[in-house]
Amino acid sequence: MQACTNHILVINPGSTSTKVAVYQGSRSMFQQNIIHTEKDLEGFEKVSDQFEFRKSAIIDVLLKNDVDLSCIEAVMGRGGLIKPVPSGVIEVDEKLKHDLRNSPIGEHASNLGGLIADDIAKSLSYCRAFIANPVVVDEFDDIARVAGHTLFERKSIYHALNQKAIAHNYASSHRDAYNDINLIVAHMGGGITVGAHKKGRVIDVNQGLDGEGPFSPERSGTLPIGQVIKVCFSGKYTETEVKKMVTGKGGVMAYFNTNDVRQLKTMAESGDTKAKLIFEAMAYQVAKDIGAMFTVLEGEVDAILLTGGIAYCQKFTDMIGDRVKKLAPVKVYPGEDEMKALAKIGARVLMGELEPIKYQ
């Protein structure tokens, strides 16, 4: 490791892995993806119970790779399912940790990011812990919250970290300020979210976590509600089983028992007519939501950005582009670099360019 200046530890827990990296500013010094097998995790009743197991795995990997922990000035954790927050970076405090442990909207491995970040930071000298742009970033216009019944409200839950990072990347490469342009960003991974970015705010986006928008490799997206009601009251399925239909075993998983879009593409190209239909239908639904966000932005759109793991599949992005290219220029940013995005935000905090907000 080089001289101790602006060294940032980044922690991103996922359902079956924990990504860990060390950056100096925005330059990667070390990265590793720690895989957790089903056997590793089967003894934990709740995600929060995995805290010590995951933290120990992170520390072991850092020490085995001779990472000098005394150099770390900030620990950036992936934000989880907490209360709605504005876009930005949040310093971890007791109130935030309480909601990460006792999430008001559900469990997710990303909740462990801030908790582990805080614990490691407290063990080091002059080190602070943060989360940034968690999935609950909420910048909705009030009109976007209306669901159609007094018992329900549309909520902002989406891939905020990567959508914001890609939007900033596009703006920077075109010498624009993110706050001065309008963009539609489609993040396409295990879940798919399509956001309307109006001058720095995501004023509308589909709630891709548990049932809205395009179907994806693992999620059913918007389903015919009348048929859903019949399934719920059929007596054939438990609440847990219905939830799994929507998130985890929905979408491509429901049709082919795989969440691998590359496999779906291969099947489609080998003459499987059902696979071809589902492959094309997923792209069709993404394009349809992009069209919806075009109306949200009143037709004033500088660019349409396609990102996430599925964006590596050119055939898929081409099918979307063919449908939406008349709306605005289409740019493709394959994959997601959430680790680098978190590191960049941490570096800006350390350099005094970005002020953390307080969790309310």
What is the domain-level CATH number for residue 128? 3.30.420.40
- Shared-domain flag, residues 344 and 326: no
Helix, strand, coil % in the chain, rounded to nearest 5: 40, 20, 40
Averaged pLDDT for residues 263-290: 97
What would the two tokens of residue 357 be? 């907000």
8 Å CB contact between 297 and 196: yes
8 Å CB contact between 145 and 355: no
Strands of the sheet with 182-188, listed across from one edge: 201-205, 192-198, 182-188, 303-308, 330-334
The pLDDT assigned to 228 comes to 97
Q: Does 118 map to a domain?
A: yes
pLDDT band at 265 (very low <50, low <70, confident <90, very high): very high
* pTM, two decimal places: 0.91
Q: Does 79 map to a domain?
A: yes
Q: Among the listed ranges 88-97, 319-328, 334-343, which one has the minimum average pLDDT value?
A: 334-343
Averaged pLDDT for residues 198-221: 94
Where do the H-state alpha helices sit in the chain? 38-41, 51-64, 94-101, 111-122, 142-145, 160-173, 225-232, 239-246, 252-256, 261-269, 273-296, 314-324, 338-350
The pLDDT assigned to 60 comes to 95
- Shared-domain flag, residues 290 and 319: yes
Q: Does 42 map to a domain?
A: yes
- Shared-domain flag, residues 342 and 310: no
Q: What value, to the nearest 5°, has the Cα angle with vertex 161 and ends 317 and 52?
A: 120
Averaged pLDDT for residues 257-261: 93
Counted residue by residue, the chain has a size of: 360
- Shared-domain flag, residues 175 and 131: no
Q: What value, to the nearest 5°, has the Cα angle with vertex 168 and ends 182 and 262?
A: 95
Q: Does 251 map to a domain?
A: yes
Q: Does 148 map to a domain?
A: no
- Shared-domain flag, residues 120 and 204: no
pLDDT band at 26 (very low <50, low <70, confident <90, very high): confident
Q: Does 291 map to a domain?
A: yes
| Host domain of residue 39 | 7-138+338-350
pLDDT band at 336 (very low <50, low <70, confident <90, very high): confident
Number of domains, the chain? 2
The pLDDT assigned to 41 comes to 87
| Sign, CA torsion 44/46/52/58 | positive
- Shared-domain flag, residues 325 and 344: no
Share the mean pLDDT of the chain.
Answer: 94
Asked whether the predicted pLDDT for residue 2 surpasses 70, the reply is no
What would the two tokens of residue 184 be? 């539609």
Backbone angles phi, psi at 130, to 5 degrees: -140, 160
The pLDDT assigned to 5 comes to 76
Q: What is the pLDDT of residues 278-323, one digit of tens each?
A: 999 999 999 999 999 999 999 999 999 999 999 999 999 999 999 9
Distance CA 267, CA 254 (A): 16
- Shared-domain flag, residues 317 and 187: yes
Q: Does 225 map to a domain?
A: yes
The single-letter DSSP state of residue 344 is: H
The pLDDT assigned to 3 comes to 60
| Nearest partner of 300 among 176, 187, 183, judged by Cα | 183
- Shared-domain flag, residues 113 and 29: yes
Q: Does 359 map to a domain?
A: no
Asked whether the predicted pLDDT for residue 65 surpasses 50, the reply is yes
325: Cβ–Cβ under 8 A, 6 or more apart, which residues? Answer: none
128 sits in which H/E element? strand 128-132
Asked whether the predicted pLDDT for residue 1 surpasses 50, the reply is no
pLDDT band at 52 (very low <50, low <70, confident <90, very high): very high
8 Å CB contact between 149 and 44: no
List 341's β-bridge partners, or say none. none
The pLDDT assigned to 168 comes to 94
- Shared-domain flag, residues 134 and 206: no
Block residue for tokens 């795995």: 57
pLDDT band at 25 (very low <50, low <70, confident <90, very high): confident
- Shared-domain flag, residues 317 and 251: yes
The pLDDT assigned to 64 comes to 95
- Shared-domain flag, residues 165 and 313: yes
- Shared-domain flag, residues 105 and 233: no
Q: What percent of the chain has pLDDT over 70?
A: 99
